[in-house]
């Protein structure tokens, strides 16, 4: 199967640059994966599309303000550092710009010297290992100095950083938001629970590999980035009970999908667990746990378009995306949503 099989034409003006004023006012396209039938709704209609006895699986990872703008010492040249993975003891794997001027030994300074760092090494794909020096608690320093690491296709600065967090975000660790969850409000979640639908939280820390294009011609030659995910016993019990009682397991976002498909046991049940996952879901994959998916519209030729095509069928997905372009839906992180069932 070729990467180009997942291409679609998207006018640039349909890429949403800012979130809507009201999270749940975005549009919602529903797609029946058996028939291909499409309906146009609003996100707040999701309450009517869920059934009593279903459970919603939500990723409660919180985005770190992981983009640091500073200077290289002693030249004073500008540097941008994006934190990717905590290696422990103040060392982070980072993406740096300009990469060729941040070689091992380079000294960095942020916030007039309140945070300093040294590049201490490089990993295989060109990312740098950076040792940070600071006083106090690193996350508090980041909250003061860091910016939200918005995707490369968003050109505008975000006025309110909380709009790139879900209302249920809890555990710091992501370099990008689990964006399907951005549509939910606390009031909407309360309505969903009142209807008899359980909320089950998992954690997957989203890496920047989410935005990494697939460069291989054959999709099977693409290597997925590794991301850490975990599930509590409480969540395992909710999903197991939902399955036993004939309810649907509805994942909010591809990260929740990848988490439960990574952690499901051979007999189809769940228990408290965690893992580093490199799961790559593309057409031909047999889903073991997910029954329905709430998701945004994804980049052409991306692993996420391949995932939704595995679930709903490539032809159905490409037809739905064509309709979304015709109907002027908003695309990507701050865009509209789909409900695949």
State residue 207's pLDDT score.
86
Cβ neighbours, 10 Å, residue 251: 31
How far apart CA 305 and CA 71 sit, in angstroms, is 38
pLDDT at 113: 95
DSSP state of 306: H
CA dist., res. 25 & res. 150, Å (int): 21
Residue 312 phi, psi (nearest 5): -110, -5
Contact 130/99 with Cβ under 8 angstroms? no
pLDDT at res. 126: 85
The list of the chain residues with pLDDT below 70 reads: 211
- Which pTM does this prediction carry? 0.93
Q: Give the model's pLDDT for residue 225.
A: 86
Q: What pLDDT is recorded for position 209?
A: 75
- How far CA 254 is from CA of 57, 63, 82, 129, in Å, comes to 11, 16, 23, 29
Report the alpha-carbon distance of residue 265 to residue 41 in Å, rounded: 35
Phi/psi of residue 170, nearest 5 degrees:
-145, -40
Alpha helices, H only, the chain? 46-49, 138-145, 186-194, 233-244, 254-263, 303-312, 314-326
């Amino acid at each position: 199967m070729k990467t180009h099989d997942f291409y679609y034409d998207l006018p640039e003006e349909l890429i949403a640059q800012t979130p809507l004023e009201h999270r749940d006012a975005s549009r919602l396209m529903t797609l029946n994966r058996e028939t291909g039938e499409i309906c146009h709704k609003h996100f707040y209609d999701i309450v009517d599309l869920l059934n009593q006895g279903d459970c919603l699986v939500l990723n409660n990872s919180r985005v770190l303000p992981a983009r640091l703008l500073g200077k290289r010492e002693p030249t004073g040249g500008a540097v941008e550092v994006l934190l990717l993975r905590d290696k422990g003891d103040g060392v982070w794997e980072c993406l740096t710009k300009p990469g060729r001027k941040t070689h091992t030994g380079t000294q960095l300074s942020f916030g007039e010297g309140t945070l300093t760092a040294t590049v201490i090494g490089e990993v295989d794909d060109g990312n740098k290992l950076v040792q940070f020096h600071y006083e106090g608690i690193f996350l508090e320093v980041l909250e003061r100095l860091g910016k939200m690491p918005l995707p490369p296709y968003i050109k505008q600065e975000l006025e309110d950083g909380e709009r790139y967090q879900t209302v249920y975000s809890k555990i710091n660790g992501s370099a990008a938001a689990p964006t399907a969850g951005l549509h939910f409000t606390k009031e909407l979640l309360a309505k969903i629970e009142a209807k008899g639908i359980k909320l089950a939280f998992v954690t997957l820390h989203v890496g920047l590999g989410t935005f990494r294009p697939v460069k291989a011609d054959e999709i099977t030659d693409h290597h997925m980035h590794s991301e850490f995910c975990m599930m509590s016993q409480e969540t395992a019990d909710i999903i197991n009970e939902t399955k036993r009682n004939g309810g649907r397991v509805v994942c909010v976002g591809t990260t929740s999908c990848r988490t439960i498909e990574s952690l499901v046991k051979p007999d189809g049940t769940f228990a408290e667990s965690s893992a580093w996952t490199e799961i790559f879901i593309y057409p031909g994959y047999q889903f073991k746990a997910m029954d329905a998916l709430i998701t945004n519209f994804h980049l052409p030729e991306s692993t996420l378009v391949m995932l939704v095509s595995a679930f709903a069928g490539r032809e159905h997905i490409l037809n739905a995306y064509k309709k979304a372009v015709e109907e002027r839906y908003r695309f990507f992180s701050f865009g509209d949503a789909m409900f695949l069932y």
